[in-house]
Amino acid sequence: MAAAGVAPALALLAPWAAAQSSAQFLPSPAQFDQLFPERIAFYSYEGFAQAVRQTPAFAARGSEQQKRQEMAAFLGQIAHESDQLKAQREYRRENWGLYCRQGPGESCAPGQQYYGRGPIQLSWNYQYKAAGEALGLDLWADPDRVARDATVAWQTALWYWTTQPGVAPQSAHEAMLAGKGFGATTRAINGVIECDQGADPNTLRKLNRRIDFYRRASSLLEVPLSEPLGC
């Protein structure tokens, strides 16, 4: 994910251990397996479902179609971010030491690196710190817990999705509720790197890959696409 400011967790999403909303939409285990046939064991359906239940606002608001559209958008985005749930850690090791932002009130723990981990590839020291504070954990001192603890990995992905806007006006969760389309979720996740870059071939490839995964998820969940698809 691109560097951006970190928004505070939304009060409506706390506490993380809240009971599942009766209105929440969840894909079936068979649908999850069909969408991620090569996923590694770390990313289990049970872990995913548990994290969803602990995030009561996610895929729980608006019409049934809106709930399914949000779920499809989330699944499409994590399919791209985590290489279809095969990557616990960012593949490009040469980038691992690049995610330390220093500034007022910001620093990096000695010996720690803040490269992408988990379903949404949480990145940067300040995001690990904020995610840990929301979850009651010290992920600033131990960022690799996101790649070792599957429960935490899923929780950080849903924390980012529901509360963090990145460089966008609102989080991916809020954008879907407002009908802003799938493209707005890409802007919230990786807007600096992938949005507003013109016709750069590599950027277009990444954007189209996200859209392709979203199309698959939407088809599987039998829900119309939320447009615009591009950011």
Partners of residue 103 on adjacent β-strands: 106
Alpha-carbon dihedral sign for residues 122, 169, 208, 97: negative
Residue 228: is the preceding peptide bond cis (ω within 30°)?
yes
Residue recorded with tokens 């696409």:
225
Catalytic residue annotation: 81
- Distance CA(90)–CA(163), nearest Å, equals 22
Alpha helices in the chain (DSSP H): 29-35, 45-53, 64-81, 125-135, 145-148, 150-163, 172-177, 182-194, 201-220
Q: How far is CA 164 from the centre of its chain?
A: 9
* Token couple for 157: 């992905």
Identify the CA nearest to 147 among candidates 107, 87, 81, 91: 87
